[in-house]
Chain A
Amino acid sequence: MDVGSPLGGPATSGIADALKGALPGGTGKASQEQRRVTLILGGVLLTLGLRRVSFGGAALALAGGALLYRELSRQSGQAGAETHMAEVTRSITIGKSAAELYRFWREGGHLPRVMGHFAEITETDMDQAHWTVRVPGGRSLSWDTRVVESRPGELVSWQSLPGTELPNRGEVHFRPAPGDRGTEVTLRLHFQPPGGTLGAAAARALNGLVPSLLVGDALRRFKSLVETGEIPTLDRNPSARASTA
Chain B
Amino acid sequence: MRALCWEGVNDLRVQTVPDPEIVNPHDVILRITMSTTCGSDLHFIDGYVPSMLPGDVIGHEFMGVVEDAGSEVKKVKKGDRVVVPSFVACGDCWYCQHDLYSLCDNTNPNAEVQAPLLGYPTGACFGYTHAFGGYAGSHAQYMRVPHADVGCFQVPEGLRDEQVLFLSDAAPTGYMGADFCDIQPGDIVAVWGCGGVGLMAQQSALLLGAERVIAIDRFPERLKMARDHIGSETINYAETPDVLAILHEMTGGRGPDACIDAVGMEAHGTGPGYLYDKAMQTLRLVTDRGQALRQAIMAVRKGGTLSVLGVYGVMDKFPIGVIMNKGLTVRSAQQHGQHYLPRLLEHAVKGELDPSYLATHRFSLEDGPRAYQMFKNKEDGLVRAVFTP
Task: Please list the residues of chain A having a beta carbon within 8 angstroms of any beta carbon in chain B.
Answer: 52-57, 93, 95, 180-182, 212-213, 216-217, 220, 223-224, 227-241, 244-245
Contacts and interface: CB of A to CB of B under 8 A. Distances in A.
Contacts of A217: 112
Contacts of B92: 95, 227-228
B265 to A, nearest CB: 18
Given A54-B131, A212-B115, A238-B57, A232 B72 contact: no
Contact of A238 (B113, B115, B136): B136
Contacts of A244: 18, 55
A238 B19 contact: yes
B160 to A, nearest CB: 28
Q: Of residues A52, A223, A228, which shows the largest number of chain B Cβ atoms within 10 Å of its Cβ?
A: A228
Given A239-B136, A240-B15, A234 B25 contact: no
A131 to B, nearest CB: 21
Given A181-B94, A237-B135, A239-B136, A232 B7 contact: no
Q: Which residue among A56, A182, A234, A239 has the maximum number of chain B CB atoms within 10 Å of its CB? A: A239
Interface in B68-87: 72
B252 to A, nearest CB: 45
Interface stretch (B100-108, B209-217, B233-241): B100-108
A214 B72 CA distance: 29
Given A52-B110, A236-B20, A239-B56, A95 B93 contact: yes
- Which one of B50, B112, B135 has the highest number of Cβ atoms from chain A below 10 Å of its Cβ? B112
Interface of B: 1, 3, 5, 7, 13, 15-21, 23-26, 50-51, 53-57, 72, 90-94, 97, 105-116, 124, 130-131, 133-136, 140, 142-144, 146-147
B interface, by DSSP: helix, strand, loop or mixed?
Answer: loop
B18 A241 contact: no
B5 A232 contact: no
Contacts of B3: 238, 240
25 contacts: A52-B112, A53-B53, A54-B51, A55-B51, A56-B113, A95-B93, A95-B94, A212-B116, A216-B112, A220-B105, A223-B106, A224-B105, A227-B90, A228-B91, A228-B147, A230-B24, A232-B133, A234-B109, A237-B134, A238-B17, A238-B18, A238-B136, A238-B142, A240-B57, A245-B18
A53 B7 CA distance: 15
B51 A232 contact: no
Contacts of A57: 110, 113
Contacts of A241: 53-55
A53 B17 CA distance: 18
A53 B109 CA distance: 11
Contacts of A53: 53, 130, 134
Residue among B13, B18, B142, B143 with most chain A CB within 10 A: B18
Nearest to A3: B23
B228 to A, nearest CB: 40
Contact of A233 (B19, B24, B57, B93): B24
A241 B56 CA distance: 8
Contacts of A232: 24, 106-109, 124, 133, 146
Contacts of B93: 95, 223, 227-228
B35 to A, nearest CB: 14
A54 B130 contact: yes
Contacts of B135: 234, 237
Contact of A227 (B18, B23, B51, B106): B106
Given A223-B106, A228-B106, A240-B55, 13 more contacts: A53-B134, A54-B51, A54-B53, A55-B131, A56-B51, A212-B112, A227-B105, A228-B91, A237-B134, A238-B3, A240-B15, A240-B57, A244-B18
Nearest to A92: B105
B112 A229 contact: no
A30 to B, nearest CB: 35
A22 B5 CA distance: 35
B106 A239 contact: no
A234 B90 contact: no
Contact of A56 (B16, B55, B116, B142): B116
Contacts of A223: 93, 105-106
B90 A239 contact: no
B224 to A, nearest CB: 39
B134 A216 contact: no
B269 to A, nearest CB: 29
